Amino acid sequence: MVREGNWGRWGEQDERGALNLLTPERVLAALQTPRTGKLYSLSMPIERTGPHLDYRGAPQRLTLTNHSDESMFVNGFGGRVGVGANEDIVVMGTHTATHMDALCHVYADGATYNGHPHDGMSSYGGAAYSGIEKAGTIVTRGVLIDVAAAKGLPHLDFGYAITADDLQTALKQQGVELRPGDAVLIRTGWLELFMETDEMRLDQPGLSLEAARFLGEQDVAVVGADNTSVEVQPWSEGEFLGGHIELLVKRGIHLIEHLSLAELSADNCYQFLFATAPLRIVGATGSPVNPIAVG
């Protein structure tokens, strides 16, 4: 791959990509965005049902201890009768429910972001480069681009490829301009449709390659959406994971998928403080997240 996009921009060893844009100045400025102080949770629930792909399995919460184990607390830990602890174990894919893709998630032409070798992901050790534990903390201005609402639709059509013009039109209607370092969240309405119908389809509305390039050129730090892959399926221009290659691989822009954006949309809340930090799972290719918006 010819060096392009942001490769080398933050050093040859960089593993954080566009998150380097989150300078203290931008962070402090972002803190001044909120007007209402209303708190939003942008994740969907994690449960066995959901828009889960079969090959990843459904997430499972399994009870480790509950009141049926009280004798263990009493005899094993010296508890008094009537006192105990409920605990659980979770088994889940790191790309299930609302989650952030690490920069190592996708490779193309032998490399992940910044030219790190594509085979640097071993079975036991996980990602040697750009694992999700390298991402760190994200606090920046968040911008909702409510494409569905801008078109007056509850949700975009299956397979609809959002254009750069769609993004610009929606931004104009919303009265917001993108700035470098923003976290941009695209609403297609797909997740709400899924939650109503419980029907998992992959031909989802999402970004065209051209729209992905537009966002990359705005120098945003994060791109998220309320669908399964941020980008449209069937793949824009027929390129498997083309939007991931454009944003994640070339630009080092972390992606967030399956975002719950209905409440922001209902409130016409287009600018907000955006804050999230993926779990520091060493070597992981992604992490479930529950991103925060402050309106």
Nearer to a copy of itself, 247 or 284 (CB): 284
Angle between the N-to-C axes of helices 164-174 and 209-217, in degrees from 0 to 180, rounded to the nearest 10:
50
Does position 92 bind a copy of itself by CB under 8 A? yes
Q: Which residues make Cβ contacts (< 8 Å) with residue 158, sequence separation at least 6?
A: 201, 203, 204, 205
At 160, which amino acid appears?
Y
Contact range with a copy of itself by CB under 8 A, out of 2-10, 28-36, 161-169, 208-216: 28-36
- DSSP letter at 246? I
Binding-site size for a copy of itself (CB under 8 A) equals 107
Of the candidate spans 9-17, 80-88, 179-187, 209-217, the one that interacts with a copy of itself by CB under 8 A turns out to be 80-88
Q: Which of residues 129-188 bind a copy of itself (CB under 8 A)?
A: 133, 136-139
Q: What residues from 219 to 258 belong to the interface with a copy of itself (CB under 8 A)?
A: 235, 239-241, 244-245
Residue 161 to residue 205: CA distance in whole angstroms: 6
| Under rule CB under 8 A, residue 56 binds a copy of itself | yes
Nearest CA to 254 out of 54, 30, 23, 15 is that of 15
Our CB check for a copy of itself shows the closer of 72 and 165 to be 72
106 near a copy of itself, rule: CB under 8 A: yes
Does position 54 bind a copy of itself by CB under 8 A? yes
The number of residues in the chain equals 295
Which of 101, 40, 44 shows the shortest CA–CA distance to 292?
Answer: 40
CA dihedral 256→275→186→267, nearest 10 degrees, is 140
- Asked if residue 57 binds a copy of itself (CB under 8 A), the reply is yes
Nearer to a copy of itself (CB atom), residue 69 or residue 168 = 69
State which of residues 9, 10, 20, 34 lies at the interface with a copy of itself (CB under 8 A). Answer: 34
| 11 vs 19: CA distance, rounded Å | 13
Rounded distance between C-alpha atoms, residue 268 and residue 40, angstroms: 13
Amino acid at 238: G
Shortest spacing between CB 255 and a copy of itself, in angstroms = 12
Q: For residue 20, state whether it binds a copy of itself (rule: CB under 8 A).
A: no
Considering beta carbons, is residue 72 or 157 the nearer one to a copy of itself? 72
Dig out the tokens for 247 from the structure: 């944003």
Contact status: 203 vs a copy of itself (CB under 8 A): no
Q: Which of 18, 21, 127, 191 binds a copy of itself (CB under 8 A)?
A: 127
